[in-house]
């Protein structure tokens, strides 16, 4: 990622600290996000990986202020910083914004491409009108300026801008619609973009195409990215850093290279071995036994212990915190020092 020298010393685009989010459900409180902290630097991409239901989308919705009314942010802080000319020009305490301010914040500072949003377009509006709607809600671009900006970003996502501009959503393929959504997220030049499973539900070739577009965009534009995916190979390809999320908590965090080459949390190790392309040989393919915990009735201690071959009494009673085990590499596991070796022996037997 090319960044102007002056930008690299700036504080992160987003700093999330001790964020906890619950949902109220009939059976009780769903602890969807539990005491999560991470930062995304300028121009950096952070992947959030983890099984279905681990809380990834909830984190994203919390950042853009789109949690449903049944959700409650129990604690935490989200600080967003806009930079210009090598300086921080605005620092926003996101959780303190009022509804009007958060609407302005969304799109302009932070845009989210939603999971499964391919059909979220208004079917009776042309793409041009969908762009105009977003812009006018922010008193931003209109007329020729809007068309020019839109053409520029539609080109960036490798679409025939003139054709797409006049089209209705149903006239575009799924892959084209996803690229329009990505372009739309860039319209007001937000410095943070959250992409929630942007390639899921697309065929493999279309997925490849979107990944290439995203890599291009990252090279050419300066935004920071939170990339949500359960697909580890995509995360490895696109992100600089990765966080493994389990039962609403980050259990491992580090740069992509370190986490994928040298994972220490038994859950991350399991995830990586569940992917044939990353694990190498096909015989290595083992899935993680058991299923994710009930977030209403959580196990005691480490939430992974019922599925972990290494779990002992301490794991069953005390939840480990994230501990720094190497430069920028953090792991929440009592057994991290021996996890890799033990799991290797475990598999060999």
Ligand X SMILES: Nc1ncnc2c1ncn2[C@@H]1O[C@H](COP(=O)(O)OP(=O)(O)OP(=O)(O)O)[C@@H](O)[C@H]1O
Stretch that binds Mg ion, among 22-30, 52-60, 97-105, 200-208 (CB under 5 A): 52-60
Site string for ligand X, 53-92 (x = CB under 6 A): xxxxxx---------x-x----------------------
The residue with tokens 């006049």 is 166
Residue 299 in contact with ligand X, rule: CB under 6 A: no
Among 13, 31, 35, 57, binds Mg ion (CB under 5 A): 57
Which residues, including other chains, have CB under 8 Å from residue 300's CB and lie 6 or more apart?
316, 317
At closest approach, how far in Å is the CB of 61 from Mg ion?
9
Stretch that binds ligand X, among 52-60, 85-93, 303-311, 341-349 (CB under 6 A): 52-60
Q: What does 25 interact with, of Mg ion, ligand X, none (CB < 5 to 8 A by kind)?
A: ligand X
Could you say which DSSP state residue 74 is in?
E
Contact between residue 207 and residue 197 where contact means Cβ atoms under 8 Å apart: no
The helix (run of H) or strand (run of E) holding residue 196 is strand 192-196
Lay out the sheet containing 329-331: strands in order across: 110-113, 192-196, 224-228, 45-49, 241-246, 249-255, 329-331, 323-326
Please list every residue from 8 through 37 that binds ligand X, using CB under 6 A. 23, 25, 30, 32
What is the DSSP code string of 205-223?
Answer: HHHHHHHHHHHHHHHHS--
Locate all alpha helices (DSSP H) within 221-250, ordered by sequence: 232-238
Q: Which residue's CB is nearer to ligand X, number 60 or number 263?
A: 60
Q: What does 246 interact with, of ligand X, Mg ion, none (CB < 5 to 8 A by kind)?
A: none
The residue with tokens 């920028």 is 328
At closest approach, how far in Å is the CB of 50 from Mg ion?
9
* Contacts to ligand X by CB under 6 A: 23, 25, 30, 32, 50, 52-58, 68, 70, 115, 230, 295
* Contacts to Mg ion by CB under 5 A: 57, 115
């Amino acid at each position: 990622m090319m960044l102007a020298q002056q930008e690299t010393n700036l504080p992160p685009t987003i700093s999330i600290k001790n964020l906890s989010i619950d949902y109220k459900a009939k059976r009780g409180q769903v602890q969807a996000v539990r005491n999560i902290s991470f930062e995304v630097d300028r121009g950096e991409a952070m992947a959030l990986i983890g099984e279905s239901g681990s809380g990834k989308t909830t984190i994203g919705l919390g950042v853009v202020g789109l949690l449903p009314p049944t959700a409650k942010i129990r604690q935490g802080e989200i600080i967003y910083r806009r930079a210009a000319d090598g300086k921080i020009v605005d620092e926003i305490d996101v959780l303190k914004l009022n509804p009007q301010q958060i609407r302005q914040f969304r799109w302009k500072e932070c845009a989210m491409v939603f999971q499964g949003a391919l059909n979220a377009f208004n079917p009776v509006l042309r793409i041009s009108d969908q762009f105009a709607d977003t812009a006018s809600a922010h008193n931003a671009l209109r007329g020729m300026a809007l068309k020019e900006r839109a053409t520029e970003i539609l080109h960036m996502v490798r679409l025939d801008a003139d054709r797409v501009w006049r089209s209705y959503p149903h006239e575009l393929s799924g892959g084209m619609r996803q690229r329009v959504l990505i372009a739309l997220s860039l319209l007001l030049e937000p410095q943070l973009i959250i992409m929630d499973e942007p390639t899921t539900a697309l065929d493999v070739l279309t997925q490849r195409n979107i990944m290439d577009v995203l890599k291009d965009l990252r090279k050419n534009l300066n935004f920071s990215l939170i990339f949500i995916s359960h697909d580890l190979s995509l995360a490895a390809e696109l992100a600089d850093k990765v966080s493994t999320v389990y039962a609403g908590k980050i259990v491992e965090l580090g740069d992509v290279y370190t986490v994928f080459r040298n994972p220490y949390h038994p859950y991350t190790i399991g995830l990586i071995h569940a992917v044939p392309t990353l694990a190498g040989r096909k015989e290595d393919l083992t899935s993680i036994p058991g299923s994710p915990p009930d977030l209403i009735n959580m196990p005691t201690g480490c939430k992974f212990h019922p599925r972990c071959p290494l779990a002992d009494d301490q794991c069953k009673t005390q939840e480990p915190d994230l501990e720094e085990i190497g430069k920028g590499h953090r792991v929440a596991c009592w057994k991290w020092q021996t996890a890799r070796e033990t799991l290797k022996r475990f598999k060999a037997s």
